[in-house]
Chain A
Amino acid sequence: MNNNSLVQRAERFLSALRHCQVLGMTVETATEKGLTLRLPYSEKIIGNPENGVIHGGAITTLMDTTCGISTVCFLPDFEVCPTLDLRIDYMHPADPHKDILGFAECYRVTPTVIFTRGIAYQDDPEQPIAHAVGTFMRMGKSANLKTGMFPGGNKA
């Protein structure tokens, strides 16, 4: 699948999620290597009024959404994949008044479960604000992946 159609699929997915629209999230890039979403800075998602830093909840929403939608970059067809668990580790606080980018990839796909990981960053992906790891359940009936498409994806 070419990258334009991956972007379109990711945008269609994101546009259906009302809370993500409220936060103004947009698709930055979508390739076979993973997905990047943008969370724009805004006053309404401030978590610390002393310094204007964005609340962790908005970053968790960014990373849950990025990890969840990154599945479109790795699955042949659209599938509903609810989150089983998600962990965020904060490396340093975000700078106020700057957008946050979330990147995620699926590093293991089985017929029942998808393992994803990603980072949240502002200027430099080498200096992430946070690391995230999330596990998603595959609910779609098209669980029969093409052989060889993913390591071990056709068994278990």
Chain B
Amino acid sequence: MTVEEFNALLSDAHARNDYTALIDLVPYARLIGIECLRLGDDMVFRLPAQADNIGNPVLPALHGGVIAGFMEHAAHLHLLMFMGTQHLPKTIDFSVDYLRAGHYRDTFAQCQVWRQGRRVANVAITAWQTTRSEPIATARAHFKIDEP
């Protein structure tokens, strides 16, 4: 896919307020099964329970890398949806704290952009399962947003 095709798809998603095509565009997002849910002006990302995402078979629990990948991609989508980012952001660094086991059930994530400069954005991501006040993981990341 070319940069022009990506831009056309992104403008179309903004115009129709439907980001399904944007999510389906990224093979990794399809592999782990990311969805987005609009709640008023907010966007909550959802990772439905899926056996292929399990790491610890005993609990069973989701693989920590899948939880982190879900959070990283949620931040990519958030920047594309709300912050006027024109192309897929590049991750500069990503730091995740695991607070509770990610059980084999649906996981949710929400993003907060703390600072967006011309070239770099700082984003905090919270992931939870039962209730938002008991996150299973929090992450912070820097993304490069200035070039395709």
Contacts and interface: CB of A to CB of B under 8 A. Distances in A.
A64 B6 contact: no
Interface string B62-78: 11111011101100000
A64 B28 contact: no
A88 B94 contact: yes
A89 B93 contact: yes
Interface residues on A, range: 35 or more
A113 interface: no
Given A85-B95, A86-B95, A88-B93, A18 B51 contact: yes
Nearest to B96: A86
Interface residues of B, number: 42
B98 A43 contact: no
Q: Is the interface of B mostly helix, strand, loop or mixed?
A: mixed
Contacts of A49: 1, 6, 25-27
Contacts of B51: 18
Interface of A: 16-20, 22, 43-50, 54-58, 60-65, 68, 82-90, 93
B64 to A, nearest CB: 5
B64 A64 contact: yes
Contacts of B97: 84-85
A55 B65 contact: no
Contacts of A68: 64
Given A22-B52, A55-B28, A61 B94 contact: no
A61 B30 CA distance: 16
Interface of B: 1-3, 6, 25-32, 51-57, 62-66, 68-70, 72-73, 87-88, 90-98, 101, 148
Contacts of A55: 26-29, 69, 72-73
A60 B54 contact: no
Contact of A57 (B6, B57, B70): B70
A19 B64 CA distance: 10
A87 B94 CA distance: 6
B73 A57 contact: yes
A87 B97 CA distance: 9
Contacts of B64: 61, 64, 68, 82-83, 86
Given A56-B94, A82-B98, A50 B3 contact: yes
Contacts of B2: 50
10 contacts: A18-B53, A20-B55, A43-B27, A55-B73, A56-B72, A57-B70, A61-B69, A65-B65, A86-B64, A90-B93
